[in-house]
Amino acid sequence: MKLVLILLLAFVLDLIFGDPHWLYHPVRLMGRMIEKGEKFLRPRFPQTPGGEQAAGTVLTVYVVLLSFLLPLLLLWLLRLIHPACAFLAETFFCYQILAVKSLRTESMKVYAALQEGNLEEARKALSWIVGRDTETLSKEKVAKAAVETVAENTSDGVIAPLLFMAIGGAPMGFLYKAVNTLDSMIGYKNDRYLYFGRFAARLDDAANLIPARITAFLTILSAFLLRYDGKAAFRVWKRDRHNHASPNSAQSEAAAAGALGLCLGGDATYSGKMVRKPTIGDETRPAEPEDIRRANRLLYITAVLGLILFAGLRTGFTAFFF
């Protein structure tokens, strides 16, 4: 029950305060470890596909284990001082891991700029939350891209961390964030990271396999609760859930696309290079700024349903085994 209470408090803190920008975030520390680790390891392994893959695997294992063991050790030491110290620290850690409000806040900056008619500002705000080039996107494509990132990050920014924390508290939450951060930094299929980041990318795929599908089903349920098109959410998810290079990313995007009646995905430009991608959903109407607000409503209801689900499962597990 203690861990369930920690999750509830952390969730409420995130909804109220969002990401504490005034504090050095642990994900930034993970990023520094990855950068320095890459610089250290690359020259020490053969400059061959096998050597690069070995170096990337060592880096991934090192960062993931350290991200898990450090908070585990810290919480153990705090528990020796007083259980209340460990409880407060773990609540704060879990709060830092969640990204419900920050995802809404950043995407709503795009919405606000579009509502004001400031397309340049909307493109700039969008560039902070997507990896694609945004300089030439139309108003409709800016709105669509913002919806996509909210839908996709509902899984890896909210539901997946909740699941991992429900399993093993803050240490497991940080383990997941390490896997996710590694993928976002080195899990690319380009010349530099094709082999070096292969293990990190596959580990991220494995870590998100279950959370992505849970997110899709919760998004479909949220669509019904919000009186969006729940039937279309299920239909599009069933049809388009594999329309992505990643085995997981299209899961929640497809459910959201159906719920909102939008066509997401499609070709996009990254660092000046066009990448061909399949579409997700049916283009029943053009995307509009209001869709960003609708996507965030889906985000919030899906997050609450995820919290209820995992808290319930954790409570049942604890009661059964302990």
pLDDT tens, position by position, 211-266: 999 999 999 999 999 999 999 999 999 999 999 888 998 999 999 999 999 999 98
Q: What is the CA radius of gyration of the chain?
A: 20
> Checking DSSP bridges between strand 268-270 and strand 273-275, what pairing results, if any?
antiparallel
The two tokens of residue 166 are 């429900």
**Which residues, given as ranges, of the chain have pLDDT below 70?**
22, 317-322
Which one, of 185, 251, 261, lies nearest residue 230 by Cα? 261
Residues 6+ apart with CB under 8 A from 239: 254
The whole-angstrom separation of Cα 91 and Cα 146 is: 30
268, 275 contact by CB (below 8 A): yes
DSSP letter (8 states) at residue 19 = S
72, 173 contact by CB (below 8 A): no
pLDDT of 319 reads 63
DSSP assignment of 73-104 equals: HHHHHHHHH-HHHHHHHHHHHHHHH--HHHHH
In angstroms, how far is the first alpha carbon of the chain from the final one? 11
Q: Provide the residue count of the chain.
A: 322
At residue 9's C-alpha, the angle toward residues 8 and 14, to 5°, is: 100
Which one, of 23, 34, 9, 290, lies nearest residue 144 by Cα? 290
Please list the residues that pair with 270 across neighbouring strands. 273
Residues 6+ apart with CB under 8 A from 295: 107, 146, 147, 150, 151, 256, 260
DSSP assignment of 170-232 equals: HHHHHHHHHHHHHHHHH---STTTTTTTHHHHHHHHHHHHHHHHHHHHHHHHHHHHTTS-HHH
Residues 6+ apart with CB under 8 A from 73: none
pLDDT tens, position by position, 115-128: 999 999 999 999 99
For 183-213, letters b (16+ CB in 10 Å) and e give bbbbbbeeeebebbbbbbbebbbebbeebbb
Which one, of 292, 295, 314, 293, lies nearest residue 303 by Cα? 295
pLDDT of 191 reads 87
pLDDT of 274 reads 85
Residues 6+ apart with CB under 8 A from 193: 56, 186, 187
pLDDT of 231 reads 98
In which residue are the tokens 């997507």 written?
130
In which residue are the tokens 């991220």 written?
204
